[in-house]
Structure 1
Amino acid sequence: MTLPIRHRHGGMTERGFPWRDPMSADFEELFERMNEFLGAAAATPSMTRTMPWSPPADMHETDEAYVVECELPGIRREEIDVEVSESELSISGELKEREREGVLRRRGRPTGRFEYRVMLPTNVKADDVHASLSEGVLTVTIPKAQGTKSRHIEIEG
């Protein structure tokens, strides 16, 4: 079934539909709501962003620590806040939009507040966490509380 196209200059009865049934007003309202919804969905992320964005990050485990590598290009270390609680690592800050000359034609990089959170295992030394920023990658090293290296256990018999 094809539906009539909604034009801004008038309703269905003004576009050559000789009939007016009670459902046509409902269809017009539905068309307008769908247009608003699709318009909001097509808006650029910076136009609709009210919540912080989350930068790409990886977390891996070594024998001695958990390591989080978070991509934060263009952000200075003074603009980044790293916090460790009992069970969570939080990386947050703000990437300010830089001033440009001319008209911005396309936006692909996020700006504004960012936040990355990850749950930590219980066996970490929260007091010995180390963070470094190099070439736009923040590396946070969270040492393990005890050596958890695997070892072979002999079975007694």
Structure 2
Amino acid sequence: MSGGSEPVLRRINSLMQLRQEVEALSHGAPWAPPADWLETDTELLLIMDVPGVESDAFELIEEENTVVVRGQRPPPETDGSFLSVERPQGSFQRTFSFPVETVPGTGQAQLRAGVLVIRFEKRHKIIDHE
């Protein structure tokens, strides 16, 4: 990937995210869990806040230079009636472009305390020669 195409890819990714949010609005309850990218010498980590989502409610799809994370947060089980609702629930889908090259098929997910961490092996690792 050449350096000149990165701004275009970022704009396309932003437009895709905006489209997903608009589509979610038309279906009722929009939800896009916040996410961060973290880079180490050997790995790229995608970290998402997904409280209330069980580990079996996720789907992870790696495609070329993107990763799609889908999931579902069910409504809380209660006998009462909601007086107000601020916490998002239902289905979500986020599509991310990898910020650095990764080895295809290396995504490994772990869910702990409502935080999803997906680790990808970087194609170009940083090796310290001392």
Superposition TM-score, scaled by structure 1 size? 0.59
2:78 paired with 1:100: yes
Match of 1:35 in 2: none
Post-superposition CA distance 1:71-93 (Å, at most 9, x none): 11111111111111111111111
For 2:101, the aligned partner's letter is: N
Secondary structure of 2:116's aligned partner = strand
**1 or 2 for the larger relative contact order (CA 8 Å, sep ≥6)?**
2
Post-superposition CA distance 1:55-79 (Å, at most 9, x none): 0111111111111111111111111
**Percent identity between the two aligned chains:** 25
Q: Is the 8 A contact 2:75 2:89 kept in 1?
A: yes
Q: Please tell me whether Structure 1 or Structure 2 has the larger radius of gyration of its CA atoms.
A: 1
Aligned length: 106
Q: Alignment RMSD, CA only? A: 2.5
**In 1, Cα distance between the equivalents of 2:110 and 2:65?**
21
**In 1, Cα distance between the equivalents of 2:46 and 2:62?**
12
Superposition TM-score, scaled by structure 2 size? 0.70
**In 2, Cα distance between the equivalents of 1:48 and 1:104?**
22
Secondary structure of 2:105's aligned partner = helix
Higher percent of residues as strand: 2
Unaligned residue ranges in structure 1 (runs of 5+): 1-45, 152-157
